[in-house]
Structure 1
Amino acid sequence: MPTAPEDHVESARPFRANDYDTHAEAYTAENEAGIMNAYYERPAILALAGEVAGRRILDAGCGSGPLFAELRDRGAVVTGIDSSTGMLELARKRLGDGADLQVGDLRDPLPFPDGAFDDVMASLVLHYLEDWGPTLSEMRRVLSPGGRLIVSVDHPLIILAMHRMAGRKISYFATNNWTEEWTLGGQTAQMSFWHRPLHAMTDAFTTAGFRLATISEPLPVPAARDLFPDDYRLLATTPSFLFFVLNAD
C-alpha cells in the first residue's frame, strides 16, 4: 500500500532516477502476488481493454512483462518498451526470446512508425513524468486512427491525502514532485513521482489529440477480499489508482 511521501526532492529527470534495476526481482515478486497489482490494477486495466485478440498493442513501461503476458494470452500482438534493462531481462525470461521487447525512455521519441499500434497501454508509468506532453504526443503518433490509449496512474486524491498525513500542506491544484523510499527484498531505492490534479491530466490528454472515453475508479477483484482483508477494505473505500480510456480519432 502507498506510504507517506518523503520530502520534496528536485530532479531534472526523475524517471531515470528511479532505479528499478536495483530491485527488479523483488519488485516483480511483489507485482506477481500483491493486491495492488495482481488483484487491483492489472485486472482493472485488462477489463478496460476488453477483447484484444488480433490487436497490435504497445505495452509502454512493460517492466518484467506481466501485462504483456496477459495480453498475449488473449491473442494480442504485443510489443514492450521499458527503460530498465533489469526488468526487461526478467521479461525476456518470462516471455521467451521471440517476444518483441525494447529498451527505451518514454520521454524520448518512440522507435516505432506512425500508426504502428491499435492500442497503447500505459500501466502506472505516467506519474513518473513531470511533462506528459511529449510522451502523449508520441503515443498518439504511433496509434492508428481509432486506436486507444489506456492509462492507469496514482489517484490524485490519495496522493494529496498522503502529503497531508505527512504534515505537508500542498495544493491539490499544483504539480508536485515527491519521493518514496522503497525497500523490497532487502534492497532500498528512492523512487520519484509527480502529482498533478485531474484537470491537468485531462488537459494533457486533449492537447495531445485524444478524446476522453472513460474515467474509471474500480474496486479490487472479489478474490482479494479473503486473501488481503485489511487492504481490501481500504481499497474498497479509498481508490488508489485512476484509469482512463482515450480514443485517437
Structure 2
Amino acid sequence: MTTREAQSPSAVIDRVAVLLDAFRNADRLTLSELSRRSGLPRSSTHRMLVQLVRLGWVRRHGHTYELGMKMLELGSLAQHHDRVHRAALPVLHDLHNTTGLVVHLAVLDGTDVLYLEKLGGRFTLAVPSRVGGRQPAHRTAIGKALLAHSRIDPHTILPEPVTGPTPHSINDADRLRAELARVREQNIAHDRDETAIGVSCVAAAIGDSRHTVGAISVCGPTASINTSALTTPVRMAAHATWRHLTGNRVRRPVPA
C-alpha cells in the first residue's frame, strides 16, 4: 500500500475499525497487545489511540486502554434504535398497506429528526426524506410530534425568525410554541406543505406521558390526502408500537 493509499479516508477508517475490533474479547489491552491483535505497526497504533482517547472513543488507564464512554453511548443508542425499529416495522407495513401512503419512523436527534425507516409507493420520491437522513424537526409533522414531548425550548430551535423552504414553514419561536402546545393537546401533529409544496403529513409520538422513543408519520399528496381520516390510524400505529416495546402492558387509547 502506498503512503497516499494508507492516508486515504477509507484506509484510515479500516484501520480504526480493526483497532476497535481488537477489544471484542478483552476489557483492557496494552499498546503491544493492541498492535499484535490488530496487526498494525506499534507506532501507527499509538497515533490512533492518542486520537481516539481525545475523542472519547477509547479511555486510557495507566499502560492499558479500554473502550470509552462515547463508544458505549453510541452502542446503547444503536441498540435502542434497533429495538424501536424492530417493534415498529410490522406496524409500519400494516399502516402502509392500509393507507397506500408513505410511512416514516423517526427519532429526535438534537433538533433534527433522524429517519429510521421509510416505506412508500408511487409518491415516495416526492417526499424529501430517506433512511438515515435528517430534517429540521420543526418543519415536519413527525418532528413536531417528537418536539412536543421534549424539553427543548422553541427559542433554542428558532432564536430569531428564519425563512423556511416554503411559505408555509414555521419560521418563529412563538408560532412553534403554539403549534407544539396544540400537538400535546391533540396527540397528533400535522405538516401541510411545510417541508415541500404538495406534501402533507400526519404524525404521532410513540410513548406515554413520561417517555417518548420515536414517532410515526403518514405522508401523501396535499391535493388528495385526508388528514382527518388518518388521525386515528396513525395514533393507533404509534400506540401498537409502544405496546410491542413495553410487552403489551399498556391500555389501548380511546380514538378521538
> With structure 2 as the length reference, what TM-score do the two structures score?
0.32
Greater relative contact order (Cα < 8 A, sep 6+): 1
Please identify the structure whose Cα radius of gyration is greater.
Answer: 2
Identify the structure with the greater strand proportion. Answer: 1
Given the two structures, how large is their TM-score scaled by the length of structure 1?
0.32
